[in-house]
Structure 1
Amino acid sequence: MTIKDNERQVIRELAKKVAELANQPIMEERRKLWYAHNDLKTDQPVINCSPEGAWREIVPPETLVCEDEMLREIEWTLRARIARAELIHDDVPAEMRWDCLKIIGNTGWTMEGKSARNAFTNEWVHIPMISEVNPSWRPGYQFDTTAAEFNPLIDDLDDIDQIYKLIPPKVIYDKEGSERKWEIHQELLGDILDCHWTGTTFIGFSWMETYTKVRGYENALYDLYDYPEEMHKLCGILEEGYLNLYQQLLDMGLLDLNNTCQYSGTGGFGYTNDLELPKPGEKLTFKNLWASAESQEFISVSPEMTKEYAIDYEKRLLEKFGLSSYGCCDNLENKLQDVTKISNLRRISVSPWADVRSMRDQMGMNYIFSCKPNPSYVTSGWDEDFMRKYTTKLMTDGKGTPFEIILKDTHTIQGDPGRFRKWTDLCRECIGKVYG
């Protein structure tokens, strides 16, 4: 691969800027805060602004210099890290660590030539330190706002044999491509940043999202009443397939530690001293890792049925790992009695629609209180007086927990990226008022 001189220069200058930011004293303070926070040793709030889809407005594709897709991804990621530190200015530290991600995929859940996309059922791209973003660095990338056609893999549970025809996913690893990618990353960045050749660090079980990709959402809700036994059989196959997928990754050496700056759960990062790490010469195990699960598609399903068809399965999967996170956008207020039975649970998502005081009273200092404010209050406009009252109430009602406030699901910022800085500044103001 030929790298143009101007592309090399741009990437290396951006990398030097990231290194400069990472070595600032404030970044070490933020690292220490995250470790204390995730280890349940402080009630000092942590601020995490996760632009997600709106990243393409912060670092527009047309501002990139590089033309090759791999180089554009490197350039985009470096620019995004700088923007997070300088523009957004939340508590997520700039890091010297640079992960060159191995090229890993999977065959997805399939049956008779049909596929439910990949095993994780979505097209998000996980990037360390930036959370989930659209791949806007790709040449010619267009944000697709259209609805996608969907047909469930299993359309008739009266035909029980269909369940047993479901083929679980297998790992796909492009070793040669990954090695070429690693050589390029090392050449460009190896003398500036702390480069790692990294496998999968995000371990997630989107339990009912997977089920609905196999059966369809409306069918899934009817299955609870019409096909309870068949639904359990199908869930059993999904549980075994999910576990086997991660076992394949582990056996192939394609899982990596996620106890530092890796994105974790549905918000937050992995910084912790509470995970047991492999001793020299020992192989990585599931017990060395964070994992997460969520079944937000069951938001309208009773606590009893959520436990039976989701949490009981997720619990078995999560407890094979060292620490776990649970929840996403669904209100868990009336389901916490079952969620908190997950023995290694550390982080719980607090939905914008949850009663924050009720969640606080149930969780206390036992779990990270992952508070998700309503993103529409920031993405659709900016009413500072309203946001000050709203954020102060969130923090007041959540005080007495390891509180983190995470602005996510921000798929656009209406062309005003500076609004993210307004939000983080306002959060710091509210922290000063509520926590002193």
Structure 2
Amino acid sequence: MNRDREILRQLATEVAEIAASPGMTKLKEDWKQHNALQSPRPMICVSPEGSWREIITEKDLLCEDELMRSFERVLRMKIYWATGIGDDTPISEYFNVPYQVKETPYLLGMDDVEQRVSDTGSFHYKVMIDDLEEGLEKLRFRKVTMDRQESERKLSAAQESFGDILKVRHRGQFWWTLGITAEVIKLIGLEALMIDMYEDPDGLHRLMAWFRDEHLNLMNQYESLGILSLNNEDDLIASGGIGYTDELPEGNGPLSYRDLWGFSESQETVGISPQMFGEFIFPYQLPMLERFGINCYGCCEPVEGRWEWIKTIPRLRRISVSPWSNKEQMADLLGKDYIFSRKPNPSYVCCGFNEEAIKKELKETLSLAPKLNLEIILKDTHTLENHPERLRKWMEVARKIAG
């Protein structure tokens, strides 16, 4: 254990030195300006996501204790982001330890719903509900419980190991999206969701309304437990971007959703018409988004056809412009009124390194920069074919083109 502590303290010291550098201080201010729609320049980030397992492998971790290894992984990720990638991801003096929470399932057997071919390959969901009418009777709202003792144990372990070097605190998020559609598909399948829009619209509306109410109930539980966390600093938010802002939290009282960035998307329903999105999806997402202080929308789905509805979200700020979006049309729609969160095509990095395609795509995006609050987020890099240096190379190309 003493050796584990020495390893963590050495890594924490490296992180603290990076966090204290003048470049990081400026990055924080750049993100604040960017999120306030006063972008000083295009912000460029890389999110390794699934490829982290190829960048920091189990063999790279030196600690023996499992909890210490989890801390070590986070510290090494921070160092690699700064030194191995060198993008606009800020590294702060904070070390975040998540609360330990559990949620009961909607339905027995939900833990085994995902049927995978491999860790990185395709998968499908085992259909849990064949009949909407009967299925609705079986569903139950999730119940949240928090293990305060375990939460404190992990926080104390980090504090005792390197709390005099980094600022250790509880912080974390309990969901990535409030989009609902992914959860519905886990129960009935994607095909059924789309067919029910024609064959059983009333039943689908009842199911979507149930999920809306269930998600609102879940949100209320986290708020009542007092374990919401701010996401207004070096937090990765939505489908890309960093949370630094002076606009949140809004008050000094107990934390509420009005103090947080909110996010929703519906990338699974990319195959339906805008009208179907406006009837069956968006009305059930909106009540949740109305509770947040600043909102983000979209991920891999093109949203230009859905803009009629999306633009009505209160306090909407960040919009995803996916590789499959019409970026020129989106530039006209968003202008300087929103953050244009451009997602380059990850296949140019994940399947070989297609430098010419990368340059062409970046040049096309950056040509729009003068009329936008632009950020470029390379994400969905779920493999690099064990060539992590590609991320640094992509970043160097992007920096050069961005000037």
- Do Structure 1 and Structure 2 share a fold, with TM-score over 0.5? yes
**Aligned position for 1:72:** 69
1:301 and 2:276 correspond? no
Task: Give the helix-richer structure, 1 or 2.
Answer: 2
Give the Cα separation in 2 of the matches to 1:394 and 1:285. Answer: 36
Matched, 1:30 2:5: no
Q: How far apart are the structure 1 equivalents of 2:67 and 2:136?
A: 40
Shift of the 166–241 alpha-carbon distance from structure 1 to 2, 3 Å rule, reads: same
- Structural mapping, 1:16-95, within 5 Å: 16-42=13-39, 44-95=41-92
* Corresponding residue number in structure 2 for 1:179: 152
Q: Percent identity?
A: 37
Alpha carbons 2:155, 2:168 under 8 Å: kept: no
Using the alignment, how far apart are the partners of 1:79 and 1:162 within structure 2? 45
Which of 1, 5, 26 is the aligned partner of 2:2?
Answer: 5
Cα distance, 1:102 vs. partner? 1.2
Written as runs of structure 1 = structure 2, the 5 A alignment for 1:367-406 is 367-406=338-377
Would you say the 8 A contact 1:43–1:401 is kept in 2? Answer: no
Deviation per CA, 1:374-427, whole angstroms, max 9, x where unpaired? 000111122333322221112113541111100101011112111111111111
Deviates more, 1:337-346 or 1:269-278: 269-278
Q: 1:204·1:265 contact (CA, 8 Å) conserved in 2?
A: yes
Report SS of the residue matched to 2:155. Answer: helix
Quick check: 2:115–2:125 contact (8 Å CA) kept in 1? no
Match of 2:263 among 285, 292, 300: 292
Query: What is the CA-CA distance between 1:312 and the residue it aligns to?
Result: 1.5
Q: What do the CA deviations read for 1:248-281 (whole angstroms, capped 9, x no partner)?
A: 01100111111111121111121111224331xx
* 1:342 paired to 2:313: yes
The residue number in structure 2 matching 1:151 is 126
Output one character per residue of 1:213-242: Cα deviation in whole Å (capped at 9) or x when no partner: 121111111011011011111111100100
TM-score, normalization by structure 2:
0.95
Matched, 1:238 2:175: no
Q: Which moved more, 1:13-22 or 1:333-342?
A: 333-342
Matched, 1:248 2:221: yes
Matched residue of 1:267: which SS? coil
Gap regions ≥5 residues in structure 2: none
Q: Is 1:360 aligned to 2:324, yes or no?
A: no
1:328-365 per-residue CA deviation (whole Å, 9 max, x = no partner) reads 10111211121111122111111101111100000111
Give the distance between the partners of 2:354 and 2:275, measured in 1 at CA. 40
TM-score (norm 1): 0.88
**CA displacement at 1:202 relative to structure 2:** 5.2
Find the residue that maps to 2:367 and give its secondary structure: helix
| Mapped partners of 2:354, 2:7: distance in 1 | 38
What are structure 1's unaligned runs of at least 5 residues? Answer: 124-142
Distance change (3 Å), C-alpha of 1:155 and 1:203: same
1:24 CA drift (Å): 0.5
Any idea what the Cα deviations from partners look like across 1:94-120, whole Å, max 9, x if unmatched?
Answer: 11011111112211221xx332669xx
Contact 2:230 2:249 in 1 (8 A): no
Kindly report which structure 2 residues correspond to 1:110-259, keeping only aligned pairs within 5 A, or say none. Answer: 110=107, 113-115=108-110, 144-145=119-120, 150-157=125-132, 160-200=133-173, 204-259=177-232
Of 7, 11, 15, 1:14 maps to 11
| Alignment check: 8 A CA contact 2:341 2:374 kept | yes
Judged with a 3 Å threshold, the aligned counterparts in structure 2 of structure 1 residues 384 and 115 are, in CA distance, closer, same or farther, namely: closer
For the Cα contact (< 8 Å) 2:4–2:65, is it kept in 1? Answer: no
What SS does structure 2 have at the residue aligned with 1:205?
Answer: coil
Count the aligned residue pairs.
Answer: 403
CA contact (8 A) 1:201 1:258 kept: no
Equivalent-residue separation in structure 1 for 2:336 and 2:236 (angstroms): 22
Residue type at the aligned position of 2:184: Y
Which shows bigger deviation, 194-203 or 183-192?
Answer: 194-203
In structure 2, distance between residues paired with 1:245 and 1:153: 21
Tell me by how many angstroms 1:164 deviates: 3.0
Q: For 1:195, what is the secondary structure of its paired residue?
A: strand
Instruction: Please say if residues 127 and 189 of structure 2, whose CA atoms lie closer than 8 Å, have aligned partners that are also in contact.
Output: yes
Q: 1:353 to 1:203 in 2, by over 3 A?
A: closer
Q: How far off its partner does 1:203 sit?
A: 5.6
CA displacement at 1:122 relative to structure 2: 12
**Cα distance in 2, alignment partners of residues 29 and 43 from structure 1:** 11
**In structure 2, what residue type is equivalent to 1:403?**
L
Letter in 1 for 2:12: A
Q: For 2:125, what is the secondary structure of its paired residue?
A: coil
Moved more, 312-321 or 232-241: 312-321
SS at structure 2 position matched to 1:209: helix
What letter is aligned with 2:277? T
Task: Give the 3 Å change call, closer, same or farther, for CA 145–430 of structure 1 in structure 2.
Answer: closer
